Amino acid sequence: MTDLLGPSTGSPGPALPPVRASEGLRLGWIRRLWPVLAPQRGVVVTSFLVGLVSLSISVAVPTIVGVTIDDAIASTAQPLGPFLIALAVLAVARGVLSAGYRYGLYRTAYRVEVDLRTTLFRHYAGLSFSSFDRLQTGQLLSRAQSDVRSVQLYLAVAPLILTAIISFVLAIGVMLATSALLTLVAVIALPGVYAVGVALRNRLFPLSWIIQGRQAEVTGVVEESVAGVRVVQSCAAEDRQLRAMATAARRLRWANVEQGRIRARLAPLLENLPRIGSVLVLLVGGWLVIDGRLEIGAIVAFNAYIVLLQVPFRFLGFFLILGQRARASAERIFEILDEQPEITDPEVPLEPVARDGRIELRDVRFGYGDGPDLLRGVDLVVEAGETVAIVGATGSGKSTLARLLCRYYDPRSGAVLLDGVDLRDQTVEQVRRSVVVVPDEPFLFAASLLENLAYGRPDLVPGDDTVPDEILRAAEAVDAAGFVEAAAEGWSTPVGERGATLSGGQRQRLALGRALLVDPEVLVLDDATSAIDVQVEARIHRALTTIRANRTLVLIAHRLSTITLASRVVLLDDGVIVASGTHAELLAGVPRYREILASSVAEDHEPAVDADGGATP
């Protein structure tokens, strides 16, 4: 069984508390990452200390080589063997230590990547629906993938560059002890290297932000094209999507080429300016040796140290590029982490005296974003155990009302109460365990029939091939047992991406069964049986009332067959409740109700055929 139905056995990782944008700029992105970095500090410190020992050996080797040349080769004052043994031992020790500290640093970087990605995903899960209304899926995917990877790569490489810088400082110290003049000659080009590095950094950071953003654009086009492939193909819009992809790819290409152009101009300077020191060391050092003021071994050692001096600068351009890209990626990640959910738990949540499923809306007004009110002063009471149908024309606010009932959104004014307590005074989990909405286009995971049906109750998933009675009863209640038994692999049959291998009616029945297993007090069916034929729909409703007689049912409906299943009908028109009563009462006394039913019947005039073979009259 996959992790789809239960939490991962690994640690979810530490949280990154969001801060205000201005505060985030003052803190710096590395400091904001500290909650994720802190648990790894022991491994980092140990690895870094091991790295220091390794680089100390690297700094000591040129001096030993110089002494070997002077004492064992040039003057033969000392035997050569001990020097060779010492160099061999140092080489082995350095190799082992280098492997150890690199392993520790990379291991830490990948752990940080896991924790950061988990933190980001956890934040996604806590965002309100209003945030997802504004944020593109491709942008969210890009931040969780390429942006996190950019930060991880920088964290893996940065300590290696830091050890190289420390080796630079140690090498300078040894060189000064040998010859101050020759050291000055060796580092004469470093101010120029610093100036080029600053110029490279200043040019790369804005481009790094652009590149990450345009990578997200490409991801977004790919995600939409793949997710909507059936719409694309049915509209013969493949060329249009290809053009959109080509445009996004060209925009990304321009930014990458511009970055490459800057690197081609400045990176060679950054890497080769220190080589001027090598030429000058040979020139001045040779003069000092001829003058008898320096030994030949010192010249050899100095040339080796110049190589150590060049290492940080050789990778400085690459490091700056990684740093600027990581900074841009981190800021994009924090841009999402600073997105505050609008739907939050109260500090002191209230628990209703009894969970009966009574719903009350008091003068509710609501609209999306900055748009106009779609619900305007709605007052409604649905008693516990009552079955109510909400009827209205397209755009009247029926689905919006359903979203308020399970607190996907909060009203702009007024209140939505469940069992006498305002939803805002209860925890989100309390509300959504008590109120479950089944939409007309349910989402199914790319998993088995069993995993999708039992998604809300992972405790019911068996460890063997047996299927619990609760799952079987839920499947029978929603008339899904037949097509499950007929499936190639039974309950283990995969449903494909978003349930692509199932018909619309089968997907709706699985979603109904999934909601039924959660056993909520209030079940809201938002046209959730629109793809199911009327006979099956009637059997499902009878089964629902049989399994739990006092369950509150709210039917967002337009089909007459669904409406007649309700004991009361509420007519919603242009965001206002204009009538309430039985179907017969509204049909006889409310012209607007008859108009809406007539238009619905006209839309559904041609019979729809369910994939199981049943016809919808």
The domains of the chain are located at 31-337, 359-440+520-616
Residue 579, beta-bridge partner list: 571
421 falls in which pLDDT band (50, 70, 90)?
very high
Judge whether residue 137 has pLDDT over 70. Answer: yes
Identify the helix (H) or strand (E) that includes residue 309. helix 296-314
Listed residue (524, 594, 517, 520) closest to 555, CA to CA = 524
CB 267 within 8 A of CB 242: no
DSSP-based three-state secondary structure for 556: strand
The token duo for 148 is 């996190």
What pLDDT was estimated at residue 601? 64
CB 513 within 8 A of CB 596: no
What pLDDT was estimated at residue 611? 37
pLDDT (tens digit per residue) in 95-114: 898 888 888 888 888 888 88
pLDDT (tens digit per residue) in 398-410: 889 999 998 999 9
What pLDDT was estimated at residue 410? 92
pTM: 0.67
CB 4 within 8 A of CB 455: yes
What pLDDT was estimated at residue 317? 64
pLDDT (tens digit per residue) in 170-200: 888 888 887 888 788 877 777 777 777 777 7
286 falls in which pLDDT band (50, 70, 90)?
confident
Mapped to the 3 state alphabet, what secondary structure does 430-447 carry? HHHHHEEEECCCCCCCCC
Domain 359-440+520-616 has CATH 3.40.50.300: yes
Lowest mean pLDDT among 8-17, 54-63, 280-289, 533-542: 8-17
User: CA torsion, points 283, 284, 289, 295, in degrees to nearest 10?
Assistant: -110
Which stretches within 16-40 are classed as H helix? Answer: 21-27, 29-32, 34-37
Listed residue (51, 27, 166, 40) closest to 101, CA to CA = 51
How many angstroms separate the Cα of 320 from the Cα of each of 24, 65, 205? 21, 33, 9
Judge whether residue 76 has pLDDT over 90. Answer: no
How many angstroms separate the Cα of 281 from the Cα of each of 30, 144, 215, 303, 314? 39, 49, 46, 7, 19
Judge whether residue 379 has pLDDT over 90. Answer: yes
Q: Mean of the pLDDT values across residues 43-61?
A: 84
Lowest mean pLDDT among 139-143, 309-313, 479-483: 309-313
Cβ-based neighbour number of residue 107 at 10 Å: 15
Cα separation, 613 vs 72, in Å, equals 95
What pLDDT was estimated at residue 515? 86
Cα separation, 447 vs 349, in Å, equals 35
Cα separation, 386 vs 549, in Å, equals 9
In the β-sheet with 359-366, what is the strand arrangement from edge to edge?
375-382, 359-366, 413-418, 421-422
Cα separation, 101 vs 184, in Å, equals 32
pLDDT over 90 percentage in the chain: 11
**In degrees rounded to 5, what are phi and psi of residue 434?**
-95, -30
Between strands 387-391 and 568-573, the pairing is parallel
pLDDT (tens digit per residue) in 347-358: 898 888 888 889
Q: Mean of the pLDDT values across residues 81-93?
A: 85
Place of tokens 């990450």: 212
Burial of 488 by CB count in 10 Å (0-12 exposed, 13-18 middle, 19+ buried)? exposed
Judge whether residue 280 has pLDDT over 70. Answer: yes
Give the list of residues 6+ apart from residue 171 with CB closer than 8 angstroms, or none: 59, 305, 308, 309
Listed residue (418, 514, 429) closest to 470, CA to CA = 514
Listed residue (416, 306, 405) closest to 361, CA to CA = 416
Between strands 435-438 and 522-526, the pairing is parallel
Cα separation, 611 vs 109, in Å, equals 50
31-337 CATH:
1.20.1560.10
Lowest mean pLDDT among 75-79, 87-91, 282-286, 341-345: 75-79
Place of tokens 């950061």: 116
Residue 557, beta-bridge partner list: 391
Q: Mean of the pLDDT values across residues 488-506?
A: 79
Listed residue (439, 460, 446) closest to 518, CA to CA = 460
DSSP-based three-state secondary structure for 263: helix
- Provide the mean pLDDT of the chain: 79
pLDDT over 70 percentage in the chain: 88
More confident residue, 567 or 274: 567
pLDDT (tens digit per residue) in 223-263: 777 767 666 766 777 788 888 888 888 888 888 888 888 88
The token duo for 37 is 């970095």
